[in-house]
Amino acid sequence: MAYDYDLFVIGAGSGGVRAARIAASLGAKVGIAENLYLGGTCVNVGCVPKKLFVYASEFRAQREAALAFGWQQAEPEFQWPTLRDNTRAEVERLNGIYGRLLDGAGVSLHYGLASFVDAHTVDVAGQQITAEKILIATGGWPRRPSFPGAEHVLTSNEVFGLDTLPKKVLVQGGGYIAVEFAGIFNGLGVDTTLVYRKQLFLRGFDTEVREFVAEQVQQQGLTLRFNDDIASIDKNDDGSLEVSFVSGRRECFDAVFSAIGRSAKTSALNLSAAGVELDERGFIRVDDTFKTNVDSIYAVGDVIGRVQLTPVALAEGMALAKHWYAGEALAVDYSNIATAVFCQPNIATVGLTEDEARAQGLDFDVYASNFKPLKHTVSGLQECMLMKLLVDKQSDAILGAHVVGEAAGEMIQSVAVAMKAGASKAHFDQTIGIHPTAAEELVTMREPRA
């Protein structure tokens, strides 16, 4: 059968665009469909605008620190519309870049909602398109809570375009998105409370890191309310939101931001028409080759729910395209993936946590350092740093590395490279540090914790 395309991609986010471009560059005829915005979640309502907001939220503390270093000036006034509009302009610039990348690679872009007709056919805005292979890369979507009044909450899809900055906000959730946005609001001068239904946020991260961050963000003025949750929300005549908590407490806020998780974005795909199966969590089920239960249909990125990070989606999309059209072995290494949480202070981690290492029965040493960086010995700010290495006693291999503090993500990237290369603790010890930096602590921790 003659198909319209060798490969048709549904979703022009990170993984989809990378797969489409690589496939086209290797000689495949490729089409791609997108019904919202080019670049996906990361570019439009995720990593990029969020990181720009994080930068903005850090300037207030930096201004306080500057006073101790001799910089005197009038109290600055934050203008929310400036941040919002400049961020939007950068997002639009990136949208244009993605469009040009697709066009330059010879990928045909179809604007519209794509849904399956059968295993080789999709409908895009009323046009039926056929392809030998179809790749689903539609990503994820914020989950909305189900309590009474949930229609009043904001999610990460809406928060970047607010008309005005709220004066008092409640953040619901304990994952990295909730913690990051709580830090953003707090840093911008908003009276901010984070509520989480369990004992401590950031489940899955190292326990010591979680406890350290909880202490640090409270010192910066963020109110943490653990072991509680939202029961309902009522909107008052003045527009404020009266929140009833499970604990029985009631309090009014100008806005409520909910970040309770993300689900696979599959509802509009009409997967049943092609017979594609979901797993028990609602993500698309794929095998080791990213193939669904239907031979012609594949999926990568957040929609498969493996490791929901933009660089992982990029790696999956590139590996699959090179496997198909260049004959390369299909291999995506999910071990030791470095990640960062851009709360304040930042968290960056790679490898195992203490709990994970114990659960695996490993015999390991912990090297840790908790200190105030040089900058803040003068600034007067109370922000401290935590650095931690887990080292296998028998092999001396680095099992995990964790950094909390300014520029943590910038530090951990190099540590991740070292771990991929098999670096041992002895290699770290033999490396001469750069002085004075916080990062030198990673190569000067000599004695394990007792």
pLDDT tens-digit profile of 9-57? Answer: 999 999 999 999 999 999 999 999 999 999 999 999 999 999 999 999 9
Tokens of 92: 């639009």
Residues 6+ apart with CB under 8 A from 361: none
Which of 272, 298, 326 represents a domain boundary (last residue)? 326
Q: Are 120 and 199 found together in one domain?
A: no
Position 75 pLDDT exceeds 90: no
Position 74 pLDDT exceeds 80: no
CA distance to 165, 178, 180, 366, per residue, from 222 (Å) = 17, 12, 12, 30
Tokens of 132: 């030998």
Tokens of 142: 């914020």
Quick check: 52 and 187 in contact, CB under 8 A?
Answer: no
Position 207 pLDDT exceeds 90: yes
Angle at 359 between CA 355 and CA 364, to 5 degrees: 70
Q: Specify the 3-state DSSP secondary structure of 242.
A: strand
CATH number at residue 194: 3.50.50.60
Q: Are 431 and 400 found together in one domain?
A: yes
Known active-site residue 120 = no
Q: Are 276 and 136 found together in one domain?
A: yes
> pLDDT class for 1, splitting at 50, 70, 90?
confident
Q: Mean pLDDT of all residues in the chain?
A: 97
Q: Are 68 and 124 found together in one domain?
A: yes
Q: Are 372 and 412 found together in one domain?
A: yes
Range of the domain at 419: 339-443
Q: Are 367 and 307 found together in one domain?
A: no
Question: Is position 35 within any domain?
Answer: yes
pLDDT value of residue 69:
94
CA separation for the pair 259, 447 (Å, rounded)? 40
Q: How many domains does the chain have?
A: 3
Question: Is position 450 within any domain?
Answer: no
CA separation for the pair 92, 97 (Å, rounded)? 9
pLDDT, tens digit, 9 for 90 and up, residues 245-267: 999 999 999 999 999 999 999 99
Q: Are 226 and 284 found together in one domain?
A: no
Which of 326, 348, 381 represents a domain boundary (last residue)? 326
pLDDT value of residue 73:
78
CA separation for the pair 260, 122 (Å, rounded)? 32
The active-site residue out of 120, 376, 427, 435 is 435
pLDDT, tens digit, 9 for 90 and up, residues 181-195: 999 999 999 999 999
Tokens of 318: 């590139």
Question: Is position 187 within any domain?
Answer: yes
Quick check: 163 and 328 in contact, CB under 8 A?
Answer: no
Q: Are 236 and 175 found together in one domain?
A: yes
Position 226 pLDDT exceeds 90: yes
Quick check: 7 and 304 in contact, CB under 8 A?
Answer: no
Q: Are 131 and 278 found together in one domain?
A: yes
Q: Are 175 and 306 found together in one domain?
A: no
CA distance to 171, 377, 390, per residue, from 366 (Å) = 34, 26, 5
Question: Is position 332 within any domain?
Answer: no
Which of 212, 228, 260 represents a domain boundary (last residue)? 260
